[in-house]
A and B are shown apart, each in its own frame.
Chain A
Amino acid sequence: EAGVAQSPRYKIIEKRQSVAFWCNPISGHATLYWYQQILGQGPKLLIQFQNNGVVDDSQLPKDRFSAERLKGVDSTLKIQPAKLEDSAVYLCASSAPGTGTTGELFFGEGSRLTVL
């Protein structure tokens, strides 16, 4: 079974530039998450999708971050304009329908963003 795919793995940009990250979840997984992991910290939820709909985006800085999940499959996270404090690893995770009871998240390897 293929895992969660993310790209690009690494991205270096200057502040005020824009960047986009892509995620392809495990086939059939209805729930998709974007997490931000700053060096030395635990993952922080940015946004959670259930199929096409947003379940939770309360911690997404909406003035600069946006995310979409087209057709309930792939997802894109965009940052525009980027700030220095956005330097982090952006993790995508997915979980299968009905795993609200098991709760297993499957993570991708992450996209490391460096903002100069």
Chain B
Amino acid sequence: QQQVKQSPQSLIVQKGGISIINCAYENTAFDYFPWYQQFPGKGPALLIAIRPDVSEKKEGRFTISFNKSAKQFSLHIMDSQPGDSATYFCAASMNTGNQFYFGTGTSLTVIP
């Protein structure tokens, strides 16, 4: 059972463009939604995270939009750069148990 569904599987964006990755979840008990960035040969690293009490969080060029009623959240990368080329995973967790459920990942390629 896939707790978190992520799309698209892959994404190609021109330098300077906007990259958008979407995730959806079913379990309303989730209360923490992080995005992880993974470069080849490396472990995932936390990029940005949001809790359901806010609808948007912005850190530099990265923004999470959260829609609690639709049970969806998305990552927006503004002014995408070639250095952003990586695989991005959304995740969801519950405070109780501290367990994390990951999406299937999106491979982002930013073309110079």
Contact = CB atoms under 8 A, between A and B. Distances in A.
Bound pair: A and B? yes
Nearest to A44: B102
Interface stretch (A14-22, A69-77, A78-86, A98-106): A98-106
A12 interface: no
| Interface SS majority for chain A | loop
B43 A103 contact: no
Contacts of B91: 42
Interface string B84-99: 0000010101011111
B98 A31 contact: yes
A68 interface: no
A103 B98 contact: yes
Contact of A55 (B45, B89, B97): B97
A109 B43 contact: yes
What size tier do the contact residues of chain A reach? Answer: 20 to 34
A91 interface: yes
A55 B32 CA distance: 19
A16 B110 CA distance: 41
B12 to A, nearest CB: 17
Contacts of A104: 34, 46, 49
A102 B100 CA distance: 12
B43 A107 contact: yes
Among B41, B46, B91, B98, residue most surrounded by chain A Cβ atoms (within 10 Å) = B98
B4 to A, nearest CB: 8
A40 B107 CA distance: 9
Nearest to A41: B104
B89 A42 contact: yes
B103 A56 contact: no
Contacts of B89: 42-43
Contacts of B32: 101-103
Contact of B97 (A56, A91, A102): A56
Contact of A45 (B6, B42, B45, B100): B100
Interface of B: 4, 6, 32, 34, 36, 41-46, 49, 89, 91, 93, 95-105
Interface of A: 4, 31, 33, 40-45, 48, 55-56, 91, 93, 95, 99-105, 107-110
